[in-house]
Amino acid sequence: MIALACDHTGIALKREMMKLLDSMGLEWKDFGNNVEASGDDYPVYGYRAAKAVADGECDRAILICGTGIGIGIAASKVKGTRVCTCSDVYSAELSKRHNNSNILTMGARVVGTDLAKMIAEHWLTATFEGGRHQRRIDMITAIENGTYTEDPALGGNEA
C-alpha cells in the first residue's frame, strides 16, 4: 500500500501518481489534500501519510508540495521515516538501493509530470541492497533513537 499526500500545489501531480500506481498494479491510499485553494498547510498531509508508513499501515509514501521540501521536512520528523526529496531518477533509485528510503517527495513546481512519473517508477521498482548499507541505516536509526555513539577506533578527521 502506497500512501499519497500533497498540499494544494500538488493535487494534479498526485492524481498522475494515482494513475501510475494503478498502471503498476499497486494499491494506494490518499491522505489529502484535495481542495484546490491556497491556505492549506503541508505538514498536516505530510504527517498523516508519514505516520501511516511509520505505523506499518502503508509500505511507502509519495508526497508532493510546491518544492517537495516542506512536506519532506515534516514527514522526516516522524520516527522511522527515511525521506528523499528527488528531482532526478538517479537519486530516487539510489535512495532506495542504498538508503532504503520509504518516503519520496517531489516538487510539483520543480518537476514536470513525465519526469515525476519516471522518478516515482524508478523509486518504486528499486530494491534495497542491504549489506554495508544496512550498517549505515542502523547508524541512522541509532541517531534517531539517541543511542548512537561514535566508534573511537574511527579516529577523527578534524586535523
The residue ranges of DSSP E strands in 7-55, in sequence order, are 28-30
Output 32 or 66, the one with its CB closest to ligand RB5: 66
Q: Among all residues, which ones are annotated catalytic?
A: 65, 98
Is residue 79 a contact partner of residue 22, using CB atoms and an 8 Å limit?
Answer: no
Nine cell digits for residue 98: 542504498
- Which residue matches cell numbers 503498476? 24
- Which parts of this chain interact with ligand RB5 (CB under 6 A)? 7, 9, 42, 65-67, 69-70
Percent of the chain as helix, strand, coil, to the nearest 5: 50, 15, 40
Output 9 or 100, the one with its CB closest to ligand RB5: 9
